[in-house]
């Protein structure tokens, strides 16, 4: 559905939020983000096996976890694979090639955000770009967490500003951007003003 053009790749090397290696600090940020938006049930969305592993080791299951069995394009350690085998109350399987955002990943992401039980999206391919649509699809006060290679975990509080930035990034992709936005629900009442085209 969408492909990341080569000239936009450098934009994705900059973290979209504060970076930490301390999971407790990260979870404090998640709690503060929910409180700041009076959204105690706002979801925590983890993009990546290692981030999800660290959250679970700290006693927190993300509401949505996107896993591809890799870290920095290498297979994750067997210990991490085993620890994530029972993650989530439900699982969705999708295909998403590297450097792309497939329609099925976007559909699964929206479904997982809207469902009350913790959901794992198992990705054949790569989930690296999923943080962008997650920021757009999640309600205000949510948190999107992903790994920054060689640095740590990035926490993105879902706010109007971070949504605007995610929208700018997504608009630079090749493909049906308006269709992708409609799939994740941008243009609905929850995202008024973000995309005037509606669903």
How does pLDDT run across 135-186, given as a tens digit for each residue? 999 999 999 999 998 899 999 999 999 999 999 999 999 999 999 999 999 8
State yes or no: 68 annotated in a binding site: yes
Ligand-binding annotation for 49, yes or no, is yes
How many whole angstroms separate alpha carbon 39 and alpha carbon 31?
Answer: 10
Query: Do the annotations mark residue 51 as ligand-binding?
Result: yes
Q: Give the CA diameter of the chain.
A: 46
Report field, pTM of the whole predicted structure over 0.85: yes
pLDDT at 117: 94
Please say whether the beta carbons of 136 and 170 come within 8 A: yes
Helix (H) or strand (E) holding 171: helix 160-171
């Amino acid at each position: 559905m969408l492909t990341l053009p080569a000239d936009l790749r450098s934009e994705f090397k900059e973290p979209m939020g504060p970076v930490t290696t301390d999971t407790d600090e990260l979870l404090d940020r998640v709690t503060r983000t929910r409180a700041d938006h009076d959204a105690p049930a706002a979801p925590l969305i983890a993009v990546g096996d290692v981030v999800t592993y660290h959250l679970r080791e700290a006693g927190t299951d993300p509401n949505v976890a996107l896993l591809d069995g890799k870290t920095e394009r290498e297979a994750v350690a067997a210990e991490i694979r085993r620890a994530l085998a029972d993650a989530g109350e439900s699982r969705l399987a999708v295909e998403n090639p590297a450097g792309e955002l497939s329609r099925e990943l976007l559909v699964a992401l929206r479904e997982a955000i809207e469902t009350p039980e913790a959901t794992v999206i198992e990705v054949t391919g790569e989930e690296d770009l999923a943080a962008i649509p997650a920021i757009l699809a999640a309600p205000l006060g949510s948190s999107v967490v992903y790994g920054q290679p060689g640095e740590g975990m990035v926490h993105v509080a879902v706010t109007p500003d971070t949504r605007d930035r995610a929208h700018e990034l997504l608009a630079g992709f090749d493909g049906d951007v308006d269709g992708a936005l409609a799939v994740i629900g941008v243009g609905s009442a929850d995202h008024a003003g973000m995309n005037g085209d509606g669903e």
